[in-house]
Structure 1
Amino acid sequence: MKSHATTLLAEVRTFRQNHPDVRYVDLIALDIPGHFYGKRYPIEMLEKVAAGSPLKLPQNAVLLGVQGGLFKIGDYCFNDGDPDANRRLVPGTLKPVSWESQPLGQMLITSDGSEAPIEFEPREVLAKVLERLQRKGIHPVVAFELEFYLFDKKLDNGLPQCARDPLSDDPDDQPNLHIERLSRFSEVLDDMAQTAKDQGIDITVITAEIGPGQFEINFGHQGDGMRAADWAALFCRSTRGVALKHGYRASFMAKPYLQFPGSGMHVHVSLYDGAGNNLLAAHQQQPLRHAVAGCLELLPHCMPIFSPNHNAFRRLGGTVNAATRASWGFEDRDACVRIPESDPRNLRIEHRLASADANPYLVLAAILVGLEHGLEAKREPIAPLNEDRTSGTDFPLEMLDAVRAMQHQPVLRDKLGAEFVDVYCENKRQDHLAFQQEIPAREYRWFL
C-alpha cells in the first residue's frame, strides 16, 4: 500500500506531466470569514512538500477579519508572537486554474490531520464533527446548493450594476425562473460549470433564480462531508474568476439588493449507518423528527455561522423563502428546515437558512451538530408549518445578539469546541464593530 507521501508525490508529478507550462501553484485554505488565504509556491518546491518537507503558514492567518485585518482575540495575534503552524496538502485537490491570464495551479491545504491542528480552523472544526459521527456509526451524505448574482464588472460609484443581458440592458427584461435566461448567459455559465468540473466538483442542476442576474448551481450528493464542503468553497473561488474573465462580477453576497431576493446556501443532509440504512427513516421516521428538533433547538445559537456578517442579516425575512423564525415543514420552502419529498432510502433534511457567503465548513459542522444533538436528546419538534403557519421559534436578527446567544451555549461549546466558539464569536464581534466605524452618507442626510 502506498504511503501518504508517495501518493501526494505521484499526484504532483502527474500534474506536472499533464501541465508542463504551469510554474506556480496556489496553496490555499479558508479562513474564518470564508476567504482563501495561502501562498504561491513554485511547482518544484511543491514536489518537496509532497515528499515530506514542512509546510508552515502563520497560525493567525485563520483569524483574519472580513477585510483581512487582525483583531486581538484573547492572546492570539498580538500576544503570541504570531507563530507558524504546520499545514498539509489535501490529496486530490491539485488542479489547473484556467481563469488567470497565466498558467497556474491550485491545491487545498489544511491543518486538520497534522500533528498539531489549529482548533479554530474551519476545516478542523468540521473534521472533528465528522470523526465523532463516524465513531458513532453515523455517515452523512451531503449536497450543497449555492445561489449567486452576476453583476457588471464595473461598479457605479461603488454600487453594483446588473449584469448586461446580451439581449437587453433593462434588468426587468430578464425572465425570472425562465430557461431563456440560462440561454442568454450560457457562455459564462457553461464556462463556470466546466471549470468547476475541471476542479473535480460534481456540478448538477443550474437554475435561473428570481433576482436579475441571479442563478443557483447544485452539487451532487457526496458521501464524504469534507469533500462536499471543499466543493462549495472551491466553486466560489472558480466562479468569481470565470465571471471576471467574461466581463462580469460573480458575488455570493447575501443581500446585494433590498428589492430582490437574497442568495442562500442550501444544504441537503441524510444520515446512514454502516450497512447503508437511512437512519432518519427508521421507526416510522421518528429519528427524523428528533433530528429536526435538535436542529431547531440549536439554530438560534448558530446564527453567527449561518449569517456571518451585517449584510447577511438583511436577507432574513426577505421577499422570497427566507424565514425570520426557526421552523420546519414537509415540502415547504418557507421553512428553515425543509423535508423534501423522497423515498425512505433518500429521506433527508434541507437546511435553508445559511447565506451564500457563509463558511461552508462551519455551516455543515453546525447542521451536523444539530442533527447529532437531536438524535441524542430524542425530543419532539414543534409543529411543522404544514400544520400551523405560525409555528416557529425566534432567533437573533442582529450580530451582537447572535454572538451572545452562541458563545455560552453548552452543546456548541462541547461539540464544536470551546476554543473555536470563543475565537469565532470574538472575530464576528470585532468585525461587526469595525463595520460600524464609518459614517454613511445617509447618516449625514438624516442627522446633520
Structure 2
Amino acid sequence: MKSHATTLLAEVRTFRQNYPDVRYVDLIALDIPGHFYGKRYPIEMLEKVAAGSPLKLPQNAVLLGVQGGLFKIGDYCFNDGDPDANRRLVPGTLKPVSWESQPLGQMLITSDGTEAPIEFEPREVLAKVLERLQHKGIHPVVAFELEFYLFDKKLDNGLPQFARDPLSNDADDQPNLHIERLSRFSEVLDDMAQTARDQGIDITVITAEIGPGQFEINFGHLDDGMRAADWAALFCRSTRGVALKHGYRASFMAKPYLQFPGSGMHVHVSLYDGAGNNLLAAHQQQPLRHAVAGCLELLPHCMPIFSPNHNAFRRLGGTVNAATRASWGFEDRDACVRIPESDPRNLRIEHRLASADANPYLVLAAILVGLEHGLEARREPIAPLNEDRSSGSDFPLEMLDAVRAMQHHAVLRDKLGAEFVDVYCENKRQDHLAFQQEIHAREYRWFL
C-alpha cells in the first residue's frame, strides 16, 4: 500500500504534468466566520510539502473576525505569542483555478489529522464528530443545497444592484421561479457548474429561486460527511470567482434584500449502520422521531452556528419557508427540520435553518450532534406542523442571546468540544460588538 506522502507526491506531480503553466497553488482553509485563509505556494515548494516538509501557518488565523481582525479570546492572539500550527494537505483537493487571470491551482489544508490539531478549527470540530459516530457504528450520508444571489458587479454607493438580464440588459428585479431565468443566465450558471465539477464537486439540480437573481444549486449525496462540507466550502469560493469573470457578483449573504427571500443552506442527512441499513427507518421509524427530537432540543443552542452574523438573523421569519421557531414536519418547507417523502432506504432529514453564509463544517457538525443526542436520549418530538400549525419552540433571534444560549450548554460543550464552544462564542460576541461600532445614516435621520 502506498504511503500517505507517496500518494500526495503523485497527486502533485500528476497535476504539474496536466497543468504545466501553473506556477503557484493557493493552500487554503476555512476560518471560523467561513472565509478562506492560506498561502500561495510555488508549485516546486508544494512538491516538498507533499514529500513531508513541514507546512505551518499561524494558529490564530482560524480566529479571524469577519473583517479579518483579531480579537482577544482568552489567551489567544495577544498573550500566546501568535504561534504557528502544523497543517497537512488534504488528498484529492489539488485542482485548477480557472477564474483567475493567470494559471493557478488550489488545495485544501487542515490541522485535523496532525499531531496537534487546532481544537477550534471548523474542519477539526467536524472530524471529531464524524470519528465518534463511526466508532458508534453510525455512518452519515450527506448532501448540501446552497442558495445565492447574483448582483451587478458595480455597487451603487455600497449597495447591491440587481443583476442585468443578458437578454434584455434590464435589471432582473422581478421575483419568480421561471425556468426561463436559467436560460437567460445560462452562460454564467453553466460556467459555475462546470467549474465546480472541475473542482471534483458533483453538481446536480440548478433552480431559479423566488428572489430576483436568486438561484439554488444542489450537490450529490456523499457517504463522506467531511467531503460533503468541503464541496460546500469550495463551491462558494469558485462561484464568487466565476461570477466576477462574467461581470456579476455572487453572494451567499443571508438576507441581501428585506423584501425578498433570504438564502439558506439546506442539509440532507441520513444515517446508516455498517451493513448499509437506514437507522432512521428501523422500528416503524421510531429512531427518526428520536433524531428529530434531538435536533429540535439543541437547535436553540446552536443558533450562532446556523445564523452566524447580524444579517443572518434578518432572514428568519417574515418571508416564505423561513421559520422563527424550532419545528418539524413531513414534506413541509416551513419547518426547520423537514422530512422529505422517500422510501425507507433513503429516509432522511432536511435541516433548513442555516443561512447560506454559515460555515458548512460547523453546520454539519451541529446537525449530527443533534441527531446523535436524539438517538441517545430517545425522546418523542413535539407535534409536527402537519398536525399542529402552531407547533414549535422558541429560539434566540439576536446574536448576544444566542451566544448565551450556546456557551454553557452541557451537551454542546461535550460533543463539539468545550474549547471550541468558548472560542466560537467569544468570536461571535466580538464580531457583533464590532458591527455596532459604526453610526449609520439612519441613526442621524432618526435622532440628530
Give TM class, smaller chain: over 0.9
> Does the Cα contact within 8 Å between 2:162 and 2:173 map onto a contact in 1?
no
> Does the Cα contact within 8 Å between 1:57 and 1:87 map onto a contact in 2?
yes
Secondary structure of 1:413's counterpart equals helix
Secondary structure of 2:28's counterpart equals strand
Matches of 2:160 and 2:387, distance apart in 1: 41
> Does the Cα contact within 8 Å between 2:147 and 2:217 map onto a contact in 1?
yes
Matches of 1:320 and 1:120, distance apart in 2: 34
> Does the Cα contact within 8 Å between 1:328 and 1:385 map onto a contact in 2?
yes
- What is the CA deviation profile of residues 265-319 of structure 1, one whole-angstrom value per residue up to 9, with x for unaligned ones? 0000000000000000000000000000000000000000000000000000031
User: How much has 1:166 moved relative to structure 2?
Assistant: 1.7
- What is the CA deviation profile of residues 54-98 of structure 1, one whole-angstrom value per residue up to 9, with x for unaligned ones? 000000000000000000000000000000000000000000000
User: How much has 1:171 moved relative to structure 2?
Assistant: 4.4
User: How much has 1:168 moved relative to structure 2?
Assistant: 3.6
- What is the CA deviation profile of residues 210-261 of structure 1, one whole-angstrom value per residue up to 9, with x for unaligned ones? 0000000000000000000000000000000000000000000000000000
> Does the Cα contact within 8 Å between 1:62 and 1:121 map onto a contact in 2?
yes
Matches of 1:320 and 1:160, distance apart in 2: 22
Determine the structure 2 residue equivalent to 1:311.
311
Bigger Cα displacement from structure 2, 167-176 vs 317-326: 167-176
Cα pair distance change 1:347/1:20, threshold 3 Å = same
User: How much has 1:337 moved relative to structure 2?
Assistant: 0.1
User: How much has 1:172 moved relative to structure 2?
Assistant: 6.2
> Does the Cα contact within 8 Å between 2:340 and 2:348 map onto a contact in 1?
yes
Bigger Cα displacement from structure 2, 202-211 vs 166-175: 166-175
User: How much has 1:174 moved relative to structure 2?
Assistant: 4.6
Secondary structure of 1:72's counterpart equals coil
> Where does the alignment leave 5 or more consecutive residues of structure 1 unmatched?
none
Secondary structure of 1:218's counterpart equals strand
Q: Is 1:4 the equivalent of 2:1?
A: no
Determine the structure 1 residue equivalent to 2:211.
211
User: How much has 1:170 moved relative to structure 2?
Assistant: 4.8
User: How much has 1:176 moved relative to structure 2?
Assistant: 1.2
Matches of 1:120 and 1:165, distance apart in 2: 43
> Does the Cα contact within 8 Å between 2:173 and 2:213 map onto a contact in 1?
no
User: How much has 1:178 moved relative to structure 2?
Assistant: 1.1
User: How much has 1:175 moved relative to structure 2?
Assistant: 6.5
Matches of 2:218 and 2:242, distance apart in 1: 17
Determine the structure 2 residue equivalent to 1:122.
122
How many residues in Structure 1 have an aligned counterpart in Structure 2? 448
User: How much has 1:320 moved relative to structure 2?
Assistant: 1.3
- What is the CA deviation profile of residues 377-416 of structure 1, one whole-angstrom value per residue up to 9, with x for unaligned ones? 0000000000000000000000000000000000000000
Secondary structure of 1:151's counterpart equals strand
Matches of 1:32 and 1:353, distance apart in 2: 19
Runs of 4+ in 1 over 2 A off after TM superposition: 167-175
Cα pair distance change 1:199/1:411, threshold 3 Å = same
Matches of 1:301 and 1:175, distance apart in 2: 33
User: How much has 1:167 moved relative to structure 2?
Assistant: 3.0
User: How much has 1:107 moved relative to structure 2?
Assistant: 0.1
Matches of 1:414 and 1:268, distance apart in 2: 24
Cα pair distance change 1:373/1:87, threshold 3 Å = same
> Does the Cα contact within 8 Å between 1:175 and 1:181 map onto a contact in 2?
no
Secondary structure of 1:142's counterpart equals strand
Matches of 1:168 and 1:436, distance apart in 2: 40
Matches of 1:434 and 1:281, distance apart in 2: 46
**What TM-score do the two structures reach when normalised by structure 1?**
0.99
Determine the structure 2 residue equivalent to 1:20.
20
Determine the structure 1 residue equivalent to 2:67.
67
> Does the Cα contact within 8 Å between 2:152 and 2:247 map onto a contact in 1?
yes
Matches of 1:290 and 1:199, distance apart in 2: 37
Secondary structure of 2:13's counterpart equals helix
Matches of 2:278 and 2:120, distance apart in 1: 31
> Does the Cα contact within 8 Å between 2:31 and 2:62 map onto a contact in 1?
yes
Matches of 2:198 and 2:316, distance apart in 1: 34
> Does the Cα contact within 8 Å between 1:261 and 1:315 map onto a contact in 2?
yes
> Does the Cα contact within 8 Å between 2:164 and 2:172 map onto a contact in 1?
no
Cα pair distance change 1:186/1:172, threshold 3 Å = closer
Matches of 1:349 and 1:115, distance apart in 2: 35
> Does the Cα contact within 8 Å between 1:240 and 1:249 map onto a contact in 2?
yes
Secondary structure of 1:172's counterpart equals coil
> Does the Cα contact within 8 Å between 2:324 and 2:394 map onto a contact in 1?
yes
Matches of 1:216 and 1:172, distance apart in 2: 16
Matches of 1:212 and 1:302, distance apart in 2: 30
> Does the Cα contact within 8 Å between 1:142 and 1:270 map onto a contact in 2?
yes
Cα pair distance change 1:134/1:205, threshold 3 Å = same
Determine the structure 2 residue equivalent to 1:354.
354
Matches of 2:29 and 2:224, distance apart in 1: 18
Cα pair distance change 1:175/1:312, threshold 3 Å = closer
Q: Is 1:104 the equivalent of 2:104?
A: yes
Matches of 1:183 and 1:172, distance apart in 2: 13
> Does the Cα contact within 8 Å between 1:307 and 1:358 map onto a contact in 2?
yes
Matches of 1:211 and 1:317, distance apart in 2: 15
User: How much has 1:114 moved relative to structure 2?
Assistant: 0.3
Matches of 1:158 and 1:203, distance apart in 2: 32
> Does the Cα contact within 8 Å between 1:174 and 1:181 map onto a contact in 2?
no
Percent same amino acid among aligned pairs? 97
Matches of 2:173 and 2:306, distance apart in 1: 33
Q: Is 1:277 the equivalent of 2:277?
A: yes
Matches of 1:87 and 1:114, distance apart in 2: 7
- What is the CA deviation profile of residues 136-158 of structure 1, one whole-angstrom value per residue up to 9, with x for unaligned ones? 00000000000000000000000
User: How much has 1:365 moved relative to structure 2?
Assistant: 0.0
Determine the structure 1 residue equivalent to 2:252.
252
Secondary structure of 1:171's counterpart equals coil
Matches of 1:176 and 1:318, distance apart in 2: 18
Cα pair distance change 1:358/1:411, threshold 3 Å = same
Cα pair distance change 1:168/1:174, threshold 3 Å = farther
Determine the structure 2 residue equivalent to 1:423.
423
Matches of 2:175 and 2:123, distance apart in 1: 39
> Does the Cα contact within 8 Å between 2:165 and 2:172 map onto a contact in 1?
no
Matches of 2:338 and 2:215, distance apart in 1: 20
